[in-house]
Amino acid sequence: MKVYLAGTGTDGCRALTAEAADAIAQADLLIGAKRMLEPFAESAKELHFQYQAEQIAETLRNSRAQCAAVLLSGDSGFFSGAKGLLPHLTGMDVTILPGVSSVSAFCARCGISYENMRFISLHGADANIAVHVRMNRYCFFLLGGEMNAARVCQRLCDYGLSDVRVHIGMNLGYKNETILHGKPSDFLVLPDETLTVMIAENPEHLCYIPSAVPDTDFIRGTVPMTKAEVRCNAVAALKIARDAICWDIGCGTGSVTVEMAFCCPDGQVFAFDRKDEATHLTEQNAHKFSCDNIQTVTGICPDILHDYPAPDAVFIGGSGGYLPRIFDEIALKNPTAKVSLTAVSLETLSQAAEAFSQYCEAFDVTQIAVTRTKKLGSYTMFDAQNPVFLLTGELKCSGS
């Protein structure tokens, strides 16, 4: 059987490419969501209103049609059902036809070029939003499900991005098409339209991944904070991927949490501390730095760790005397996790070295001694900080 996977553009009919229109004309069987097939309701073709990959594949296998077209909204290569459907069509003669995507259609409406745009699908998901807008000049959001335009705008306002410019497109290509431009605060109440896309434009976006953020930039309290010179080395040693799951155990003010979050805008950071003040400060700093990929948890580690996703990278800034059990839980969750730890006392250093020796084939110990300067009258004096030991390693076993 000849099968076409055809992108239908933004409105399912007028935006069809000539190539897609020819494929539909040749097809005896059309499959797709109801709104995709409505323009062909009066044709003599066999129609099947389906959008689940397994159902579509079964229909194609059981059909006697010589040629079929599966109609996919927008472009077959942009968050399309074509990706999930292809593995089910082995043995069939399949041709994929692109369509006019919501990206190209909406960017054309707005007069915005999209070669450097960051694309995020929120269709049926609550993905990271603010951190992407903080780190990119343009972000394109494909909305759907519970995450509508109003909620995205509310998130941007909550995370210190109320001054960015947003462009909202609803029902592109249809008679009730609506396009809005303004600030997030202008659109906290909007109709909940299913077919909605959004562009966030942030001229003040970060052009780099923040590291060694000055201590004074963080909201401070009475809980400890890992200083900039130590923090940047501790985070760098973890080699955090963009989609990593990170744990910050003993998060304090959240300075390490924030720098981890910038390293994994497609991932998530779980910040743990036994003190309410610490997790509250971490939440405040998460909002200040627009890092909505941070979740704070108050409780004693390792008792609470088993309830959270397995980490790829772990920073231990405070263990509360439970370091061996914390390593046990990390190894149970992910026996190849990367771990970095700071020790400011000989007792902690000794305990940490023993734990790393048990779980790692090899690990590094680095002493970091920082001397800053301070003004004393007309003189600039040196101000030595307490030395800190940084231990880093990758787990290589399944636990004790």
Asked if the peptide bond before residue 302 counts as cis, ω within 30 degrees of 0, the response is yes
Task: Quote the radius of gyration of the chain (alpha carbons, Å).
Answer: 26
Question: Which residues, 6+ apart, have CB-to-CB distance to 9 below 8 Å?
Answer: 15, 16, 17, 20, 74, 75, 99, 100, 105, 173
| DSSP secondary structure, 29-92, as one string | EEEE-HHHHGGGTTSSSEEEE---HHHHHHHHHH---SEEEEEESB-TTSS-THHHHGGG-TTS
Token couple for 351: 């305990």
- Return d(Cα 33, Cα 38) in angstroms, integer: 9
CA torsion, ordered 29, 34, 38, 41, to nearest 10 deg: 50
| DSSP secondary structure, 89-105, as one string | -TTSEEEEE----HHHH
Token couple for 298: 């108050």
Sheet holding 93-97, edge to edge: 46-49, 29-32, 67-72, 2-7, 93-97
Where does 341-399 have alpha helices with state H? 346-359
Domain residue ranges in the chain = 2-100, 103-201, 215-395
- Fold designation for 103-201: 3.30.950
Which helix (H) or strand (E) segment is 200 a member of?
strand 196-201
N residues, the chain = 400
- Return d(Cα 199, Cα 103) in angstroms, integer: 9
DSSP 364: E
Which helix (H) or strand (E) segment is 19 a member of?
helix 18-26
Q: Provide the 3-class DSSP secondary structure of residue 272.
A: strand
- Return d(Cα 3, Cα 30) in angstroms, integer: 10
- Return d(Cα 333, Cα 329) in angstroms, integer: 6
Residue 382: what pLDDT? 86
- pLDDT < 50: residue spans in the chain: 399-400
Q: Are strands 196-201 and 178-182 parallel, antiparallel or unpaired?
A: unpaired
Residue 144: what pLDDT? 81
Are the C-beta atoms of residues 16 and 97 closer than 8 Å to each other?
A: no
Distance between terminal CA atoms of the chain?
56
Q: Provide the 3-class DSSP secondary structure of residue 330.
A: helix
- Fold designation for 2-100: Cobalt-precorrin-4 Transmethylase; domain 1 (3.40.1010)
Residue 123: what pLDDT? 78
Residue 124: what pLDDT? 67
3-state helix, strand, coil in the chain (%, to 5): 30, 30, 40
Residue 399: what pLDDT? 43
Best CA proximity match to 329, nearest among 261, 260, 398, 393 = 398
Q: Provide the 3-class DSSP secondary structure of residue 390.
A: strand
Bridge partners of residue 160, in order along the sequence: none
The CATH number that domain 215-395 falls under is 3.40.50.150
The predicted model scores a pTM of 0.90
Are the C-beta atoms of residues 41 and 47 closer than 8 Å to each other?
A: yes
Are the C-beta atoms of residues 211 and 259 closer than 8 Å to each other?
A: yes
Q: Residues 127-177: pLDDT tens digits?
A: 799 999 999 999 999 998 788 999 999 999 999 999 999 999 999 988 899
